[in-house]
Structure 1
Amino acid sequence: MNTFEYIKNWTSYKESFSFFLPEGSEGRPFDNQYEIIDIKKINNTMSIQLTENIKLCFEGDIKYNDEGCNLIIFNFKKLKYIVNGVLDKEFSDGEFCLTGF
């Protein structure tokens, strides 16, 4: 199973998500809960669309580490954090943590 398939499968067993960007949480940790609307892969970019019009785009040959409730995504060339269609933040290193329940 490739990375994209694994992430899509991992999220399918969970209903509610929060996340931590490489610089930390947006707001107080776990206060904001989201649902995943869609996960796509086009060429070398994987995107995760969340409720509240949040989109996360991972460019590059990403890797993951499954820690049960946490899925750590790393090794991206670029991570774009897009809110309401506007680029809010961009990262070129670090780890992204998707927490699912």
Structure 2
Amino acid sequence: MKILLCCAGGFSTNMLMQNMKKVVKESAKLDEKEFQFTAIPADSIESEIDNWDLVLVGPQIAHKIDFLKGILEPKNKPFAVIDKDVYGKMDGATVMKLALVTYKKHQLASQK
């Protein structure tokens, strides 16, 4: 799964991305070869989105969700906004769960 993290500048999200990579690496169930991550500023999403399976949005840009929906929904890309408390703790495990659940729900909905 290719996960795109999107925030204001890509800096704090880069730290969260490293924590997510660590969770995958240490997991007995997840294979790190099956995951790719990158963090970008929200303004770059249009040029990047086609190469990614899922978008996770940092809470500091939740106000841009309508702008992001306008790009993501026509391309049928699943996305979720990361909870501000989870983000503040840089909780890679909880964000990985959010990514996996969001992606699975999207897959199931697409099959209907």
Aligning the two structures, in what range does the TM-score lie when normalised by the shorter sequence? 0.3 to 0.5
TM-score (norm: length of structure 1): 0.33
Q: Which has the higher strand share?
A: 1
Considering Cα pairs closer than 8 Å and 6+ residues apart, tell me whether 1 or 2 has the greater RCO.
Answer: 2
Higher-Rg member (1/2): 2
Q: Which has the higher helix share?
A: 2
